[in-house]
Amino acid sequence: MAKSPKVSAKDMALFREAIGAITPIKKQSLIHKKKKPAAKPLQKEADEHSVLQALQNSDFDSTELEMGDELLYVRPGIQKQTLRKLRRGYYPIESELDLHGMTVAMAKVALTDFLKKCHQTSRRCVRIIHGKGLGSKDKKPVIKNKLNYWLQHRDDVLAYCSARQIDGGTGAIYLILKKQ
């Protein structure tokens, strides 16, 4: 440890004259620091926003699904038993999102917000109702096709499949998300 330099008596007197009279702080008057706000993952939010913009503005090459076609996707490495249970409705639905009547842009934002909330609340199995396309132009399932594309390009999606008839059939999906 380095020793502090010695201060001359003249310098000490000059210092005391400059600061004037002092009053020691009492120990009872502690200053409490404010709690720092929770950290916000700004970079992650910026990345999600840029991906959202890119996906909304891009055309995609995908086989267009028809009204009654089933959706099915499994990320490599997921067990067949997991998919079998998902298709049979064995997993409890922990949350639900209904995209009926939304535009593609509105549906994309709603999906992104919904999946973000699912991760924050540790929801793993959810149902997304996309509809069958009966109300869209040319009676084509626009949201269903977009949803199929969007979900396959998300790292947090493990698997999804069309729901059982009682839960919406080919107008809805069951979705399993990664643990966070």
CB neighbourhood size of 15 (10 A): 10
Residue range(s) defining the domain that contains residue 127: 72-177
Residue 35 domain-assigned (yes or no): no
Per-residue pLDDT of the chain (180 residues; tens, 9 = 90+): 566 678 888 988 888 888 888 877 666 656 667 777 788 888 877 777 776 666 555 544 445 655 557 889 999 988 989 989 999 999 999 999 999 888 899 999 999 999 999 999 999 999 999 988 776 666 678 888 899 999 999 999 999 999 999 998 888 999 999 987
The CATH number of the domain holding residue 78 is 3.30.1370.110
On whether residue 18 sits in a domain, the answer given is no
Residue 168 inside a domain? The answer is yes
For 47, half-sphere exposure in the C-beta direction (CA atoms, 13 angstrom radius) is 5
Residues, the chain, total?
A: 180
In a domain, 36, yes or no: no
